[in-house]
Amino acid sequence: VNSKIPGQRIEEERWRPPDLSEVKINFEATFDKQTNKSSTSIVCRDLEGVILGSKTVVNIRIPTPFAAEVLACLQPIQTRLELGFRQVVIEGDTLSVIKKVQSKEEDRSVISPYIDDIKFLNKRFGRCCFKKTSRNGNGVAHGVAKEGLKRNESTYLGGSSTGVG
């Protein structure tokens, strides 16, 4: 419980499970402006919080934190297709990118090629929706992304651990 108003209690958002037939894919990006590298973390979980797979990708020549965030939003779609998940909820804490992906209008920003790719790949099969979550609801993916950038290495892990964070 966290609140900035004395005497008022506000519940912090935590990771919430997807519906029965869905897989939830959380994504996060970290960015290092000194090296123009970013790290994307992707964590796939079922309704019980069991990790079905996770991935960390180190990206080079990334110009801005915003570009790192949109790239991080594209990579879960690619992972979804690689692993064959048909019904997914993709969550991240970057509202501006998620709004662009959800919009029916053509994106005309500098990241429009990424947005177009996300929309195109998203139509390939099954059901996929994008949702904004808080940093607290995206805690595991955030920690993994920070560690990936610190270690400067990409990883892929099959799922076997349980727990929600």
CATH code, domain carrying 147: 3.30.420.10
**Band of residue 1 on the pLDDT scale cut at 50, 70, 90:** very low
Number of domains present in the structure of the chain: 1
89 beta partners: 24, 129
Encoded tokens for 139: 């805690």
Percent of the chain with pLDDT over 70: 86
Between 98 and 1, the higher pLDDT residue: 98
What's the rounded Cα separation, in Å, for the pair 88 and 54?
15
In a domain, 3, yes or no: no
In a domain, 74, yes or no: yes
Encoded tokens for 10: 């506000």
pLDDT tens digits, one per residue of 19-36 = 778 999 999 999 999 999
**Band of residue 162 on the pLDDT scale cut at 50, 70, 90:** very low
In a domain, 8, yes or no: no
- Closest residue by Cα to residue 89 from 30, 43, 156, 140: 43
CB atoms under 10 Å from CB of 135, counted, come to 12
What's the rounded Cα separation, in Å, for the pair 48 and 148?
25
Polymer length of the chain? 165
In a domain, 17, yes or no: no
Domain enclosing residue 37, as ranges: 23-157
Q: What is the pLDDT of residue 4?
A: 45
In a domain, 54, yes or no: yes
What's the rounded Cα separation, in Å, for the pair 75 and 57?
9
Q: What is the pLDDT of residue 140?
A: 79
Between 140 and 118, the higher pLDDT residue: 118
Task: State the pTM of this model.
Answer: 0.79
In a domain, 39, yes or no: yes
